[in-house]
Amino acid sequence: MTSEQSPLPLTSLSGDESMFRDAVAGFAEEEVRPRVQDMERAAKIDPAYAKKAFELGLMSIEIPEEFGGAGGSLMMVTLAVEEISKIDASAAIMVDVQNTLVNYPIAKYGSDYIKSTYLPRLASGTIGAYALSEPGSGSDAFGLATRAEKKGDGYVLTGRKLWITNGAEAEIFVVFANVDPAQGYKGITAFIVEKGFPGFGVGKKEDKLGIRASSTTELILDGVEVPATNVLGPVGQGYKIAIDTLNGGRIGIGAQMIGIAQGALAAATAYVKERHQFGKALAEFQGIQFQLAQARTETEAARLMVYNAARLRDAGKDIVLEGAMAKLFSSQVAERVTSVSLELFGGYGYTKDYPAEKFYRDAKIGTIYEGTSNMQLSTIAKQMLK
């Protein structure tokens, strides 16, 4: 697809995964690859890329057609994130968060007012973010310090949020706060907060190891007045909304990780065919071949786990176990495969002249965000021992 052509209508591709994948792959080659290095150096997503992603419908895959989306599936989100991650994980995570952590809970739990007000904006050009984590609550996600005090016809939110992906670009936020700390997690409630609400501020932008173009910021809630119409779901049910949302979000991270692994492996495979030592290509050495074969096998296994979890979710099944396993394994595989790929480049792999070091850095976040590997292991064990 050239920049002069009209964006592909995703609704017409929703029944053909192969065509959809090819369309996204073409988009990634044309719109992402030329921007990767500039975005990496600037540590910022190119607004022109974000605009193109909206035009193609990649930012509203699961939003119902009546609200301007494609009415697609989590499997389509998975394919899109995977294909973009083969080239740039930062560009992919913007798409992932928008779909799995913002659009999904609003479409599922939002009132008619919330859906009609915010989904069309999220489908047409407004970036969103998901704000659960805080300085003192990471893995203990529900030990929230942010408070929501009932005041008149609305609520006043006070607190800080941390590690917010898309924080610098977003204008609509799904924010979690506790309306009744005495009730513990049963007081947690979800709110839709706009960047322009008085008292809302975006704080420090983190200087990160990987996915550097993706913004990760803190949010400052200094007496933010939120109307009662912006409560997402029932009051006190925020923890259920957060868990359900994150279960699907883990599939998006799994897709990002398998994309990274495939991108790194493809780069290394091409390199060992070209690089000669001792009179022959590196690819002719059995030791190199075995490393490539092992990496390909593990990547394919992780890929199938991610796809399985996505299809189960689309079928309305509970994926607490499958989602945790897919996220755990895909992030482990991405770490191993990117490490092997970097080593196959030799000294060149350690330089920024080749893509191996970026894939390696980008892979690490998979074992940390949207639930650390230890938290995934805990979830898996609990599900096994029920």
Q: What percent of the chain has pLDDT over 70?
A: 96
Q: What kind of fold does domain 239-384 have according to CATH?
A: Butyryl-CoA Dehydrogenase, subunit A; domain 3 (1.20.140)
Distance CA 29, CA 343 (A): 25
Distance CA 194, CA 54 (A): 19
Distance CA 229, CA 233 (A): 10
The token pair that represents 285 in the structure block = 């050495």
Q: Cα 373–168–146 angle (5° rounding)?
A: 65
Decide: pTM greater than 0.85. yes
Residues with catalytic annotation?
A: 370
Residue 187: DSSP 8-state: G
Decide: 98 and 127 in contact? Cβ < 8 Å.
Answer: yes
pLDDT of residue 133: 96
Decide: 84 and 23 in contact? Cβ < 8 Å.
Answer: no
Of 305, 333, 302, 306, the residue nearest 251 (C-alpha): 306
Per residue in 91-139, pLDDT (tens digit) is 999 999 999 999 999 999 999 999 999 999 999 999 999 999 999 988 8
pLDDT of residue 62: 95
Residue ranges of the chain whose pLDDT lies below 70: 1-15
pLDDT of residue 139: 82
pLDDT of residue 142: 77
Burial (CB < 10 A; 0-12, 13-18, 19+), residue 366, is buried
Per residue in 4-37, pLDDT (tens digit) is 444 555 545 656 888 999 999 999 999 999 999 9
Provide CATH code, domain 129-236: 2.40.110.10
pLDDT of residue 16: 83
The token pair that represents 173 in the structure block = 């936020």
The dihedral through the CA atoms of 344, 348, 351, 354 has a sign that is negative
Provide CATH code, domain 10-127: 1.10.540.10
| Rounded (10°) CA dihedral 97, 34, 19, 118 | 30
Q: What residues form DSSP beta bridges with 281?
A: 276
The mean of the pLDDT values for the chain is 95
Q: Spell out the residues 6+ positions from residue 342 whose beta carbon is closer than 8 angstroms to its own.
A: 264, 268, 349, 350, 356, 357, 359, 360
Decide: 245 and 101 in contact? Cβ < 8 Å.
Answer: yes
Distance CA 75, CA 309 (A): 9
The length of the chain is: 386
pLDDT of residue 138: 81
pLDDT of residue 141: 74
Give the residue extent of every domain in the chain. Answer: 10-127, 129-236, 239-384
pLDDT of residue 14: 59
